[in-house]
């Protein structure tokens, strides 16, 4: 008997990617064969993002395309767009079902079973089903927290994800254990506001304690996705420092050495007056002290930052302050975003909206700085050893992977070893990519 087909299209953040994997597990439990979106599946799920108006348009476009690919398709839109502006989607005849974020974990109860499958849908807790793999990816995301209690002036996510909510530590450990047993070489903790982990739970646990618990598992390494500057504790800095010692001396010497020498620390602006308008809870002096303290203890740590250009009222002088600030800091890369008005946020109603062409020009300036920093950081690693998760086979015998300090590395002589965690000696750097060979 032919199995009914289903497809999932994911927009937006790492949380959505993880939740799409959980939805895949549920679809397979209902007897569906999960196929590519372009295959014209009988059931099509669009896991939406609503950070910008552009992602809203992408969701609507994908829903229409699902019906063009298969006029009889049952089209489901899930996620953040459904939370913030469901009326936009209710007006679309192409969409058959809307699913809120909280209902993703019970998707199996909202959809019909495929022919020949059990009529009884599996029931999952609030955290959703445990996944055993990440659709062929070598590194796996694990959601430990979602939602945010802070109201940055430009951000709609508190409306989409709600207040901060932590996953119970037992569920996190169970998920990490399954991935470890499956041979996953790297787990990435993800969340909307990762540093808030545990503050809403009855048990006395925080992010550092959760890291320690997970690192006691026989898993190779752990990475944090993004963490606010005020939530980088001395213990986290120590773990990042210990990553270098574990690399030199052997992983078994320190549980905390399993944490990657990499932190992504949102900045948003390098100008204090803009940070105040954004309602960010720190100033540039505090941010700079955090970054310099980390790099002072672990010079090989990769430190990334998010920066928004063209925020309402941003003058040439304020942008110049940001440019000078990020240029002087020992950052290894930037993620640069052009400010986009988001309906329903305070920033969208602020006066002195910056001309869009000016926003784009400022974006290019910071992207150029980011490329320079990536190249400088890559060059600094020549002659040193790094840990690399091998990922994709190249045309020769090299396999491309990601180092513990977040650099791309082409590893010679590693053909057929994708998915392994290996130690690599770096021989050369070209632009921001490293080239090396196995030390084993």
Share of the chain above pLDDT 70, in %: 95
Beta-strand ranges (E) seen in 240-291 are 262-264
With cut-offs at 50, 70 and 90, classify the pLDDT of residue 133. Answer: confident
Share of the chain above pLDDT 90, in %: 88
With cut-offs at 50, 70 and 90, classify the pLDDT of residue 253. Answer: very low
With cut-offs at 50, 70 and 90, classify the pLDDT of residue 137. Answer: confident
Domain 385-438, CATH class in plain words: mainly beta
pLDDT at position 224: 97
pLDDT at 122 over 70: no
| Residue 134 CA: distances (Å) to CA of 10, 43, 205, 224, 323 | 13, 21, 27, 17, 38
With cut-offs at 50, 70 and 90, classify the pLDDT of residue 170. Answer: very high
121 vs 402 pLDDT, higher one: 402
pLDDT at 135 over 90: no
pLDDT at position 44: 97
Q: How does the average pLDDT of the chain come out, rounded?
A: 93
With cut-offs at 50, 70 and 90, classify the pLDDT of residue 316. Answer: very high
Give the 3-state DSSP-derived string for 72-98, with helices as H, strands as E and coil as C: CCEEEEEEHHHHHCHHHHHCCCCCCEE
Please name the residue ranges forming H helices in 279-396: 284-297, 316-328, 356-379
What's the token pair of residue 132? 């055993």
pLDDT at 116 over 70: no
pTM: 0.93
Distance CA 440, CA 425 (A): 10
Instruction: Tell whether domain 139-379 is in CATH 2.30.30.100.
Output: no
- To 10 degrees, what angle do helices 316-328 and 356-379 make? 10
CATH code at 5-110: 3.40.50.12160
pLDDT at position 281: 97
C-alpha 146, offset from chain centre = 12
Q: Where are the domains of the chain?
A: 5-110, 139-379, 385-438
pLDDT at position 395: 83
Closest CA to 11 of 64, 50, 68, 65: 50
pLDDT at position 247: 57
Residues 6+ apart with CB under 8 A from 231: 194, 195, 196, 207
Give tens-digit pLDDT for 213-252. 999 999 999 999 999 999 999 999 999 999 755 555 454 4
Bridge partner residues of 303 (DSSP): 263
| Residue 262 CA: distances (Å) to CA of 223, 224, 242, 373, 436 | 7, 8, 12, 15, 20
Distance CA 408, CA 418 (A): 14
């Amino acid at each position: 008997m032919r199995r009914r087909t289903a497809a999932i299209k994911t927009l937006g953040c790492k949380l959505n990617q993880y939740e799409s994997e959980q939805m895949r597990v549920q679809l397979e439990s209902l007897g569906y064969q999960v196929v590519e979106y372009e295959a014209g599946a009988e059931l099509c799920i669009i896991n939406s993002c609503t950070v910008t108006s552009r992602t809203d348009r992408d969701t609507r476009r994908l829903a229409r395309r699902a019906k063009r690919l298969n006029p009889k398709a049952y089209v489901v839109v899930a996620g953040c767009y459904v939370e913030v502006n469901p009326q936009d989607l209710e007006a679309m005849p192409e969409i058959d079902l809307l699913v809120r974020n909280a209902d993703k974990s019970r998707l199996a109860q909202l959809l019909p079973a495929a022919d020949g499958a059990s009529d009884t849908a599996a029931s999952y807790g609030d955290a959703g089903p445990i996944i055993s793999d990440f659709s062929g990816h070598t590194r796996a995301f694990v959601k430990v927290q979602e939602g945010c209690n802070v109201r940055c002036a430009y951000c709609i996510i508190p409306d989409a994800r709600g207040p901060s909510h932590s996953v119970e530590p037992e569920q996190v450990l169970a998920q990490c254990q399954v991935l470890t047993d499956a041979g996953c070489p790297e787990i990435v903790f993800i969340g909307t506001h990762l540093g808030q982990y545990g503050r809403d739970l009855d048990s006395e646990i925080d992010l550092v304690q959760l890291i320690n618990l997970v690192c006691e598992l026989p898993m190779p390494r752990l990475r944090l996705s993004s963490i606010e500057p005020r939530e980088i504790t001395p213990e986290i800095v120590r773990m990042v420092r210990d990553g270098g010692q574990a690399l030199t001396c052997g992983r078994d010497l320190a549980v905390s050495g399993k944490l990657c020498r990499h932190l992504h620390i949102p900045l948003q602006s390098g100008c204090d007056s803009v940070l105040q308008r954004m309602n960010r809870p720190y100033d540039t002096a505090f941010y700079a002290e955090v970054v310099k303290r980390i790099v002072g203890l672990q010079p090989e740590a990769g430190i990334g930052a998010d920066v928004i250009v063209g925020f309402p009222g941003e003058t040439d002088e304020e942008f110049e302050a940001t440019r000078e600030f990020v240029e002087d800091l020992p950052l290894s890369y930037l993620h640069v975003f052009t400010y986009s008005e988001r309906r329903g946020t305070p920033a969208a109603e602020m006066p002195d909206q910056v001309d869009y062409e000016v926003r784009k020009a400022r974006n290019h300036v910071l992207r150029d700085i980011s490329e320079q920093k990536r190249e400088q950081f890559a060059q600094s690693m020549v002659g040193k050893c790094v840990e690399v998760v091998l990922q994709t086979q190249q045309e020769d015998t090299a396999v491309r992977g990601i180092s513990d300090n977040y650099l791309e590395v082409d590893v010679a002589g590693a053909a057929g070893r994708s998915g392994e965690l290996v130690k690599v000696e770096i021989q050369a750097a070209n632009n921001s990519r490293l080239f090396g060979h196995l030390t084993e």
